[in-house]
Structure 1
Amino acid sequence: MKILAKAKKKVLGVLFLAGLTAGTSCILTGPTSPRKPEKGRPGAGVLSIFFTGNELGALKPCGCSGGQLGGLDRRSAVLDAVPEPRRLIVDTGSFVKSDSEQDLVKFNIIVRALDLLDYDLVSLSEKDIEIGENLDLLDGLGSLFDVISPHRIAGMNVPATFTKKLSLQGRTVVVTVAAFDAKSSPIEQIEGLFRPQPGQQAVGILILNRCDPGMIDSITEGVPAVDCIVCPAESDEPMVMGDPDKRPLVFSVGRFGRHVCELQIRVAERLKLSFRAIKVKEDLPQEAALVELYEDYQQIVRERNLLEKYPRFFLPAGLEYTGSKSCRPCHTDEYDKWGTSAHARAYATLERVGSQFDPECVICHVVGMDYESGFVSEQKTEHLKNVGCENCHGPGSEHITTLGKTKLTKPKSGCTDCHTPEHSSDYAGNEQQKLEKIAH
């Protein structure tokens, strides 16, 4: 992979960021770590097709706790385990969750990252097309990687299929990847997407936007050229549906970029397919060009002032947030106990990784950011930095004004509002231990 060389092609990067400021047996193995390239055994008779997709805006793990999976900057360590001539890299689309300003920034960053990572093919979802059209980016995607989609794009002739020949040990395998709109098209049309030639060793891969057992059975019986079906993700982790030893092999790629799926093709008289999901672990080396790209993203978020633009609601009954220090006069022991906790230093963890201007990160490190009178920025609302009393107990203005006669009311945050699997990988199963740390 020539990531560093690509990273020097500044003109292309500026263009994208300027608007922002056959018979087979299938074998399943569980999630693993990426293997090291084999020395002296180029390929050992194996071709690889890598799949990712459903990034949904997850550029990298939040970094709040260890043991987290994912990160575009670590993905190359997995992909580079296989030399370019023996691999095909495919993304199944769904770059972001919404068309919010921050997700539009992420859309551009993800497109640029897939280019730097030498992706061969991207299957665009309806949402990808909608956002790409709004950002005027669709015309330029074809210069970065091949694009397929089952959806029509106005003014563009985007194919539904992609074919590439991979060669190994004097044999050629023709890989066809097709995207099909199973929501609105009859499945009888699928057969026309695959046209293997007699005597040709071929692998047919079908990406669907809807899967159900009846549909899979119909494809299995009616379209023998389909060897693998990629279904929409219903879980963060990749899943294999049905019997992995039967054709077609049916799987989903997971969400948030925490795994890279690898379909291995063992080349012999008869092709044999096997599948594995590879964890993108935090101990994998980071690619410098992708690290720099994430820093570009952070800078854009800061320049766009997305933190202060974050939508906020009015609190009920004129309540306001007052900050943890306002609780100290009457609750000295509790305040002092809080001051020794990690909650009282939550904002500093953002500053260490440069995420103190990213609203998606900040919201779990400050008080009341969802509401008027809550945290806006360090300059304007410094007293609401860190995870404070009012996160759990509710806004304190009326309680203070009435000298404690008015009980604290909602909105109140629960631990799992922020301590989710993607943010706190060690929280689930250790809830009691965590609560003891903040008991007061």
Structure 2
Amino acid sequence: MRGRNPMAYRFFLHAHMTCTTCGFFALFFAILAGCGDNVIRESQRDRHRSGIPLTKVVDPGENELFQPPDKVLQKIDQKAPHEPADAYGDSKAKKPKDYVSLNGSIFVDWKKPKAAILLSGLLDGYVEPCGCAGLENQKGGLNRRMALVELLKEKEWPLAAIDLGGMVRRFGPQAAIKYQVAIDAHRILGYEAIGLGTHDLQLPSQTLLSQLTPEGKSPFVSANVRSIFDEDFGLIQRYRVIKVGGMRIGVTQVLGETFAENLQNADYEYQPPETALEPIVKRLKSEKCDLLILLANTTVEEARSLGETFTDFNYVVVAGDSDPPPPEPEAIQPHVQLIELGHKGMYVGVLGLYENPQQVRYQRIPLDGRFKDTDSITRLFAAYQDQLRTQGLAGLALQANPHPTGRQFVGSETCADCHSDAYEIWEATPHSHATETLIKLPLGRQYDPECLSCHVTGWEPQEYYPFTSGYEDQEKTPHLFGNGCENCHGGGAAHVAAENGDVDVDEEELTRLRDQMHVTLQQAEKNICVRCHDLDNSPEFEFKTYWPHVAH
């Protein structure tokens, strides 16, 4: 297919994938993105602008995108003992955070650099701040990263942005949609080179191919991963030379052997990093670069080893083992520095380059609440939520699976027929309003499986899929609104049927069905609550502190 028009090929690919993958990948060809070529030149009009075309987005103010049915609205409008804000740490009652005191100042005593390099990586699917509770305590998110970029542009710093890869941590339709959103956001942010992580490469190669611009440009770079589409379309470039601030920055990326063990996609060919880097380093040196950067999607040990072997690189950038990551680079050779960025996009790094190479500066930046949401990324997230709404559970390939116990769900109101005292306590807690919380958010999340799993009844909370007879949608299963009784006690259908006399059971079976609904405090603390109140979503959770508020 060499020489074939890339746009014409994309239309062919669209039609092919629509018939072979149930049509869900057709979504990506309406939202195409790409960037750069081997030598990226600055634009005098806007040196930070990337070559990726703009994604069509929707206005987050268009409430009809997230308008629930009338009967749901009536339920939401009922005065509740707890507003959704309570589930986010009662933010209305808390004083504004002093983020500088908490996480430190940034760019103290920095002079304007000749060039600044924004370093990021291992987003791991966290396109928004990590978690959903205690938002003011969370770090990360592409909205905040955009606010940082806008700050640097206001300072008129010549800026280039590069990412070591690892945009998603799952695979399947939602992961593919989220990958598209992440790449689109990086286009808006102005990224010049994007590496590839293991989970990125588990997605169909057509997902990456859809990022090519009509001119055939791609944002992807890797020295040791090749695609079946490279020969015809240059999907993955071996390296990039970025021109910024009058400097030439050479960039390449590798996927480490440890992570590559999990790579199972015949569309890609893998080489050991050492084998692939040797000729690439020679080519980069011939480009007369002022600085060489290796983006290492590897373990820290592998990154150090590569820095010790390939001493022409000035910086080796890796996610690392610790959060927060170290505040300063680590010297692994006299002229080779190791930079760790951490996980989930909570931190980024900025290299400040000056005329005198000895004056280089580095700043680790926590993406905390000092960075506010931006219109451009918020619109992109609104489009993402609308795509999830349009796809629905079926379009996201989320089929209901039987619960491991085989039990089925009836809803908390059915429990109230006999357990009225416990129900009244539950109804007065944020658990009962968990679904309304999603609906009332500025960008509704009630169609997002990653949010639904802990905000409705009858879902697997860590794997993001519904159980048989679990919540489906607002119209079909309004009785499963909220994080209900059965999320902790298990599905109660058989128990209810036996108690109501709908089935004939003996006394022994009746007792067994009652006993299986019982949960001890020890079980709740060790195995149940933490499935939703985990480190990401509820970092301040302590069972002994929270339990008195829901004790029943």
**TM-score class normalised by the smaller sequence:** 0.7 to 0.9
Does the 8 Å contact 1:55/1:95 carry over to 2?
yes
Q: 2:475 aligns with which of 365, 379, 384?
A: 379
Distance 1:164 1:54, change over 3 A: same
- 1:105 maps to what in 2? 177
Q: CA deviation at 1:207?
A: 1.8
Quick one: which of 437, 441, 454 aligns to 1:364?
Answer: 454
Please name the residue that 1:228 is paired with.
315
Task: Tell me if 1:49 matches 2:117.
Answer: yes
Q: Using the alignment, how far apart are the partners of 2:107 and 2:489 within structure 1? A: 48
Quickly say closer, same or farther: Cα 1:334–1:254, change in 2 above 3 A: same
The TM-score with structure 1 as length reference comes to 0.80
- Residue 256 of structure 1: how far off its partner (Å): 2.2
**In the alignment, is the contact (CA less than 8 A) between 1:160 and 1:180 conserved in 2?**
no
Corresponding residue SS for 2:123? coil
Cα 1:211–1:424 shift into 2, 3 Å? closer
More divergent stretch after superposition (51-60 vs 285-294): 51-60
> What's 2:210 paired with?
137
> Which runs of structure 2 are paired with 1:20-419 in the superposition (5 Å)?
32=104, 43-45=111-113, 47-61=115-129, 62-66=131-135, 67-83=137-153, 86-125=158-197, 127-128=199-200, 131=203, 133-135=205-207, 136-140=209-213, 146-150=219-223, 151-156=225-230, 157=234, 158-167=236-245, 173-183=247-257, 184-185=271-272, 187=274, 190-194=277-281, 202-211=290-299, 213=301, 216-217=304-305, 219-220=307-308, 222-234=309-321, 237-239=324-326, 243=330, 247-268=335-356, 270-306=357-393, 309-315=397-403, 318-353=406-441, 354-369=444-459, 370-403=466-499, 405=511, 406=513, 407-408=515-516, 414-419=528-533
Distance 1:424 1:134, change over 3 A: same
Q: Is the 8 A contact 1:261 1:277 kept in 2?
A: yes
Structure 1: which 5+ runs fail to align?
16-29
SS of 1:319 mapped into structure 2: coil
**Which range is displaced more, 418-427 or 284-293?**
418-427
Which residue identity lines up with residue 454 of structure 2 in the other structure? C
Sort the Cα spacing of 1:204 and 1:141 in 2 relative to 1 into closer, same or farther, 3 A: farther
Aligned pair in 2 of structure 1 residues 214, 234: CA closer, same or farther (>3 Å)? Answer: closer
Q: Deviations over 1:313-343 (max 9, x none)?
A: 2135652211112222332221111111111
Q: Provide, for residues 289-322 of structure 1, a one-character-per-residue CA deviation record: whole Å limited to 9, x for no partner.
A: 1111110111110011137852322135652211
How far apart are residue 140 of structure 1 and its match? Answer: 2.7
The 1-side partners of 2:456 and 2:398 are apart by 14
Higher RCO structure (Cα 8 Å, ≥6 apart)? 1
Measured in 1, the distance between the counterparts of 2:455 and 2:306 equals 50
Give yes or no for contact 2:490–2:517 (8 Å, CA) kept in 1: yes
Question: Are the equivalent residues in 2 in contact too, given 1:102–1:306 (CA < 8 A)?
Answer: no
In 1, the alpha carbon distance for the partners of 2:133 and 2:249 equals: 41
Counterparts in 2 of 1:189 and 1:100: CA distance versus 1, 3 Å:
closer
For residue 49 of structure 1, give the secondary structure of its aligned residue in structure 2.
Answer: strand
Letter in 2 for 1:401: A
Give the unaligned 5+ runs of structure 2.
Answer: 1-42, 58-101, 258-270, 460-465, 500-509
* Conserved? CA contact 1:344–1:386, under 8 Å: yes
SS at 1:290's partner residue? helix
Change (3 A) 1:237 1:329: same
Q: Are the equivalent residues in 2 in contact too, given 1:147–1:159 (CA < 8 A)?
A: yes
Give a deviation string over 1:108-167, Cα, whole Å, max 9, x none: 111111111111221234553563622341433987764311211224234322223443
Secondary structure at 2:295's aligned position in 1?
strand
Please give the secondary structure, in 1, of the residue aligned with 2:152: coil
Stretch moving more, 416-425 or 337-346: 416-425
1:239 is displaced (CA, Å) by 4.8
Closer/same/farther in 2, CA of residues 388 and 287 from structure 1, 3 Å limit: same
Identity of aligned residues (%): 22
| In 2, Cα distance between equivalents of 1:235 and 1:410 | 39
Q: In structure 2, how many angstroms separate the alpha carbons of the residues matched to 1:132 and 1:139?
A: 15
The separation in 2 between residues aligned to 1:436 and 1:342, in whole angstroms, is: 13
CA spacing shift, 1:340–1:177, aligned 2, 3 Å: same
* Counterparts in 2 of 1:106 and 1:380: CA distance versus 1, 3 Å: same
Counterpart amino acid of 2:227? I
Asked whether the 8 Å contact 1:89–1:120 carries over to 2, the reply is yes
Shift in Å, 1:250: 1.6
- The answer to whether the Cα contact below 8 Å between 2:118 and 2:161 also exists between their aligned partners in 1 is yes
In the TM superposition, what whole-angstrom CA distance separates every residue of 1:381-413 from its partner, at most 9, and x where no partner exists? 111110111111111122233336222259986
Partners of 1:238 and 1:252 within 8 A in 2 = yes
- Equivalences, count: 411
| Contact 2:292-2:315 within 8 A present in 1 as well | yes
Superposition RMSD in Å: 3.7
2:38 corresponds to which residue? none
